Structure 1
Amino acid sequence: MINSKAIERYRTKFLAHLEQKPISKEPRNLYEPISYILGLGGKRMRPVLTLMTAELFGGKVENALDAALAIEVFHNFSLVHDDIMDDAPLRRGNATVHEKWDVNTGILSGDAMLIYAYQCFENYPAETYKALTKLFSKTAIEVCEGQQYDVDFETRDDVTIPEYLKMIEYKTAVLVAAAMQMGAIVAGAKTEDANSIYEFGRNLGIAFQLQDDYLDAFGDPKTFGKQVGGDIMENKKTFLFLKAMEFAPSDDREGLMHLYSIQPDDAMAKVDTVKAIFMESGAVEATKKEIENYTNKAFSTLEGLNIPDENKALLKEFGENLMRRTV
């Protein structure tokens, strides 16, 4: 069963592998920030998915560890550069790399991490290496495209729902999808099965991000782990916002646009007003429906998979647990 115990087993194996690859070379100011960001924790969801998928396709967890490491190093590289772009002071409750060192160090250490991620594939046989790096390069460029869309949307008032869904697909979902497909590739799965598990991960990744949008506004502050209402305070045009702009009466739409153009002294009053518009307009229900829609799309890709039924059931259970999360 893919319960917390099974996920903890994958996470423990991955962390042991991470510790066996110490990045303690000279010059220290290049490598220390890499060790620092990789050591800050996090859920390690993507490497866990790589290991889990490899095993579900009949492969060995040990053979998937380097691919899992590549995914985690790349993910953290993107966070280092995103934090610079956002001028973010904190990451997982600790100082961001550019705050702890400086911006130039953050840029250079991030660059080194991207190169190191590619080096993680070098121990694989030629055919596996080729398949992994091809998928990885496609994914990496899509993540960059997603980040650029996100930046562009900050200054646009005409973002459409399809554009927003494409942005979260590229910025978040494709890396989840690639993490799973890499596990399948390492396990020697058939191409059509590897492609199906990619689609499972992609749709689940979109559902995951939409769930994140919802929890950011309506999550429980005790369990969510981030400040509830953060997206509203930062005027982020999430799925909730776009649906409210589509459904709300014109007075509420004007009020919403006004609230998203200011930074009032009483931030929580703004958050409460915006949340009320989200609820009254039907945006909350529409968001929940879309989360369910993408979750079901993910589950439908499992039907044609060439793996035992109990393994399909495990993947479905994993997806259901992910959608029930409160953090």
Structure 2
Amino acid sequence: MTNPKSINQYRALFVSHLEGQIKLKEPENLYEPIIYILGLGGKRLRPVLTLMSAELFGSNTMNAMNAAMAVEMFHNFSLVHDDIMDDAPLRRGKTTVHEKWDINTGILSGDAMLIKSYQFFESYPLEVFKELTSLFSQTAIEVCEGQQYDVDFETREDVTILEYLKMIAYKTAVLVATAMKMGAIVANAPEKDADAIYDFGKNLGLAFQLQDDYLDAFGNPETFGKQVGGDIIENKKTFLFLKSLELGKKEQKEALMHLYSIKPEDSDTKVETVKTIFKESGAVEETKAAIHEYTERAFSALEMVNISKPNKLVLREFGKNLMGRTV
């Protein structure tokens, strides 16, 4: 068994492979936006998890590289389409694809990325191919369902915390879980271990998304890479918002409902007012507690995985580092 690599080593391996795979070809207006979005960087969290998971279960990184490419390609496809739906101006601190080109280009290049993500599985033996594509298709549908819930919630005033958690589980956490389980599948890990690593990834993904919600409101614009306060401007019913409604005083709830019913010219004042309500209602502390709870659930699932103690420690450290991020 080789010694596990650091996150940065996995990331460097993946980025090197990615750069070698992605080439500009005709028609350039289809492929240039794909190269652009894939080149914006980001944490490469999901492909790193696929490579790491495969290696911790006894395979090698190159064997898992196409599965990692599939998950990164799919993730970036979803970002291109989400940015169109959200009319987002920035992604990772740079202009979004539909703003840099146009909406039609964003739709078509995104479609091509979705198709290409499946092509990466074609290199695997039939049984592994079937397992990977079955898991991936289920996840892709759940991501779409999560996105639809997200859209629906914008116009609903009765969204519950449980519904919100289901939405972020589908929209974000299942892809993190799938990234890890694909590594286990590539390494021919026993089914119960593949399922346990999926649970680890799903709970870590929930903690990750709750932290993303928190950073969207309270992160540093220099390091966060997205528009801070974007969720508030878009009237997104995040965990912070729902907890404020649950815990806040009558006047806080009324102010929040009013602010979330408008799109004012002066969005800065709206963002600052809403953030004050988030803090004073106790929603910030509740959000931090939920982040901690899902991180602990992830670590409990990790205990069920039959890998060596040093390898478990690698994943535990990864989880801790992820939860200590500011970006």
Q: Which runs of 5+ in 1 are unaligned?
A: none
CA RMSD of aligned residues (A): 1.5
What residue in structure 2 maps to residue 142 of structure 1?
142
What residue in structure 2 maps to residue 171 of structure 1?
171
Q: Which runs of 5+ in 2 are unaligned?
A: none
What residue in structure 1 maps to residue 195 of structure 2?
195
8 Å contact 1:89–1:96 — kept in the other structure? Answer: yes
1:267 Cα deviation after fit? 2.8
CA pair 34-266 structure 1, distance change in 2 beyond 3 A: closer
Does residue 114 in structure 1 map to residue 114 in structure 2?
A: yes
Does residue 157 in structure 1 map to residue 157 in structure 2?
A: yes
CA pair 179-33 structure 1, distance change in 2 beyond 3 A: same
What residue in structure 2 maps to residue 15 of structure 1?
15
For the residue of structure 1 that corresponds to 2:6, the secondary structure is helix
For the residue of structure 1 that corresponds to 2:157, the secondary structure is coil
User: Once structures 1 and 2 are overlaid, which stretch shifts more, 300-309 or 86-95?
Assistant: 86-95
Matches of 2:13 and 2:120, distance apart in 1: 16
8 Å contact 1:172–1:206 — kept in the other structure? Answer: yes
Q: For 1:1-327, what aligned pairs fall within 5 Å after superposition?
A: 6-327=6-327
Q: State, as a whole percentage, how many aligned pairs show the same letter.
A: 72
1:55 Cα deviation after fit? 0.9
8 Å contact 2:91–2:226 — kept in the other structure? Answer: no
With the length of structure 1 as denominator, give the TM-score of the two structures: 0.95
Question: Number of residue pairs matched?
Answer: 323
Matches of 1:90 and 1:178, distance apart in 2: 27
1:265 Cα deviation after fit? 4.0
CA pair 32-221 structure 1, distance change in 2 beyond 3 A: closer
Q: Which amino acid aligns with 1:296?
A: E
Matches of 1:96 and 1:226, distance apart in 2: 11
Matches of 1:324 and 1:22, distance apart in 2: 32
What CA deviation, in whole Å up to 9, does each residue of 1:272-297 have, x standing for no partner? 22222212222111111111111111
8 Å contact 1:56–1:307 — kept in the other structure? Answer: yes
1:266 Cα deviation after fit? 3.7
What CA deviation, in whole Å up to 9, does each residue of 1:226-254 have, x standing for no partner? 33322222221110110110111211111
Matches of 1:102 and 1:268, distance apart in 2: 27
Matches of 1:219 and 1:184, distance apart in 2: 34
Matches of 1:172 and 1:87, distance apart in 2: 19
Matches of 1:57 and 1:78, distance apart in 2: 28
8 Å contact 1:23–1:34 — kept in the other structure? Answer: no
1:222 Cα deviation after fit? 4.1
Q: Which amino acid aligns with 2:201?
A: G
CA pair 102-219 structure 1, distance change in 2 beyond 3 A: closer
CA pair 174-16 structure 1, distance change in 2 beyond 3 A: same
With the length of structure 2 as denominator, give the TM-score of the two structures: 0.95
The 4+ residue runs of structure 1 with deviation greater than 6 A are none
